[in-house]
Every structure is written in C-alpha cells, then in structure tokens.
Amino acid sequence: MTTRAACRALAAAWIALAAIACEEHPPPPPAATAPAASALVAANAAPPGPQNAAAESGHPANGADGKLHVWFFDVGQGDAVLIQGPTGKTVLIDGGPEDAGAHLSYRLPDLLHGPLDLVISTQPDPDHLGGLVRAISTVGARRFIGARTDAPLPQSRALMQWLQERGIQVFEPSVPPQRRSDPFRIALGGGAELQVLWPRRPAEPDLEADRPVQANSLVARLVYQKISILFGADMTVETERHLLASGFSLHSTLLKVPLHGAEGATTAALLEAVRPEAAVISVGAGNREGAPSHTVLARLEAAGAQVFRTDLNGEIRADSEGHSLVVVTERPAAGEAPETPHLFGARDTESGKRLAQSTVEEVRRRRPLPNRAVHADAPVAFGKVIEAGETHDGPFVASRNSGVFHLPSCRWAQRIKKKNLITFPTRSAALQSGRRPAGDCHP
C-alpha cells in the first residue's frame, strides 16, 4: 500500500496518526480549483480579510505566565473551550454550532498567535463540531483528536477529509487491553495534563445506549497540581455509571456540566464523586431542549457547586496557579462589579469568596497567551503522557518540485538541490504556497 493510500484509509477510519509522506511530489493544484470536501466545510472556511490577517499577525503577547487558563466561550447552544497550559501549549475542545465559527474566528486571534497545538472533537454532533473548520482555518492547528463512532456522520467525514488535506495529524485516543487501568494522557507542560477517561477503545467496547453518540462522547479531566476540571461533554447516565465503576478519580474543582445541563446526566451519584465547588453550563438562551433543567440545577445547588452559565454570564474564564481556581465572567451576576473574581479550591477559604483587592488587580492584569506556538509532534503513546516538542517559528524550506515543506534540519530538506530550494519565513507562508507539512519532521 502506498503512503498516500495508507493515509486515505487511516483517515477514513479515524486514524491513530496521520502519516503524511515526506518524499518530494509535484505541488498540489491551486486551492481555487480543488473540490470542496462538503458544503459544511465550504461554509465554515474563514473568508479572506481582517480575520485571517489577525491569524497571521496576531496581537502582541508576553509569553506563558506559568498558570493554567481556561476559556468557556459563549457560543449559544453548543460547546467550545480553549485551554492554555502553564508553558503556553493550547488546546481547543469543540467548536460550537456552525454559526459559532464566526465568533471563534474573531475571538481566538485575540487570545493566541500561531496554530493551536491540539484540537479535540468530543463528538460529531453539529453543536460541537459545527464551528471547528472556521476556527481551524483562522488560526491553524497541528494535531486533532476525535472520538471514533461506528457510523460517522457526514459532517464528521467531511472534517476528516479537510484535516487530511491540510496535513493536520489526526488520531484517536486509544488504550490497549493490557493497559486498561491507565487513562490516555496528554501533557500540557509545567505539570499540567489532560486525561482522556472515555471512550477507551480497544481496551473497552463502546457503550450501548439509546443515544450512543452522546454516551460515547470524549470525557476528559484537566489536572494541574491540586486543581482539576472535568469536561463532561455530552455523556449520559450510562457513561456516568461506567466511569463511576472504572476506578478513575473524578474529583474535580470545577465541573463542565454534561449535556448542557439537560436532564439525562449530572446524577447525584456523579456529583458525589466529583464534589465540584464550581460548575459551568454552556447553553444557549431559550434553547429547544429546555436546558439547563431545574432538576439538574437543584442537584448542583445541593452539591454546593456555584453555577456559571454562558447564557447568563457570557464568556467564562478560569485561571489557576495550581493551588486555587479563579473564575471571572464576562457578565457579572446582579450586584457584582465587572470582573469580580470567585475563588475555589484554596486552603482556608470559602468557596466563591471574593479575593483581596491586590489579587483582583493581578487577575485583571493577566498576560495574554504566548506569542509562539509549541510544536506538538510527539508520537501517540498508549496510556502514557504525550509530550510536545520544541517551538520552531521559521524559516521553513521546500523544493520547487515538492508538495510538502520541511524544517531546515530535516534529513529530506538536506537532499534538496540548491537550484530547487525555496525558503519561507513563516509556517503560514509555507501553507499559503499550497504545500502541506512533511510527515518526517512535522514542521
């Protein structure tokens, strides 16, 4: 099987890792003549103009500040979360519904410069997947993780093809049977890691449920020293029961409430195991599902969790130095001053207690995301931490006769004849030439 054929076969089956050939090939046809993967992809691709320019130039940034930062975007009835690790590595979890793509293409360049290190799709429903193409086409991405389904939806297949065409590494978090007691770990640097708790193929089969896509959505737990956040995706009661019996630690400072707070999840048993001090519900005002349900809100209140909602509070940000979690909302509750921070997880402090004024000012002066992209090109590891590589901001090289570009240090780059050598100052410039990243060096 040729390398190209292998790539097509693996991508169609939610490949473990996209193997993009490093050999020189003729350049691909111009983008204008290339067929679109689907109407969904075409509709979500970011248009030329200021939004794309922002992705190229970005905003001045001061680098990573050693803290964990999480943004819960206000995308209506859907999910979209950005994580920045202590060393600056970035992860986007879901992209909200299709109309959220425009908001993300505006918001993400304000927060980062350069490609996302990792994009995670928790499940292929439109309220999680719809805005991803627009978001990725605006700022770029290096790697992609998605929970596999037995019958991928059309929009999921279209996204896989679109990612493959752009040389973005795609893989599924897989746990072999002999390591079934280990979570799939993704290192974010500085001691922070994202643990994928479900699904766990091939160690365990998918759950059988009335809503299998939701029941097998990707559930992850973000851990940084003494602080943790559980991202519930769209897990159902069946998922909760399985996780409760798995032996994994679910205890978390903050719970990203499953199913947008709808009935059918967030049981009392789950809340007893998680013991959240805070809860975030990503939900659209006046949605057809009637979420969040009064029953779920009552359970959260009984569990002692302070609830933040994107339909009421707008965008929600959570920051942590590893020992406490500070939550700030775009729209404060009645009687609160703008940017009022709420403190969780700190010793000898009351959940939700207001911080001292000096700490409030420190939160407001928090530095933006780093003016660099961490090159996350490490191989997939079963049940082990995936470490990201070092940054390379440029230059990049290619052959006039090649459809790929390389790092200057790549062994294939060393074989390019001088008369055919092309140099690009940035990764974006190399991509704009119509070339894709080489598979050996993953530039």
Q: What is the mean pLDDT of each run of 10 residues along the chain (443 residues)?
A: 43 34 32 33 39 27 77 96 95 95 92 89 91 93 80 73 88 76 90 94 86 93 98 96 95 97 94 98 90 96 97 96 96 89 71 46 41 32 37 76 83 85 84 75 66
To 10 degrees, what angle do helices 154-165 and 3-12 make?
150
Q: Are 147 and 199 in contact (CB under 8 A)?
A: yes
Instruction: List helix spans (H) across 247-286.
Output: 268-274
Q: Which of 107, 111, 112 is nearest to 95 (CA)?
A: 107
pLDDT of residue 422: 92
Non-local (6+) Cβ contacts of 199 within 8 A are 147, 148, 173, 206, 216, 218
Separation between Cα atoms, residue 33 and residue 31, nearest integer Å:
5
Give me the residue label for tokens 């100052």.
425
pLDDT of residue 222: 98
pLDDT of residue 166: 87
- Verdict on whether the full-model pTM lies above 0.85: no
Separation between Cα atoms, residue 222 and residue 177, nearest integer Å:
24
pLDDT of residue 23: 31
pLDDT of residue 295: 96
Instruction: List helix spans (H) across 166-267.
Output: 212-215, 237-246
To 10 degrees, what angle do helices 100-111 and 132-139 make?
30
Separation between Cα atoms, residue 175 and residue 147, nearest integer Å:
12
**Domains along the chain with CATH numbers:** 1-30+397-443 (no CATH), 35-386 (3.60.15.10)
Instruction: List helix spans (H) across 13-49.
Output: 39-44
Give 419's Cβ-side CA count (13 Å radius).
0
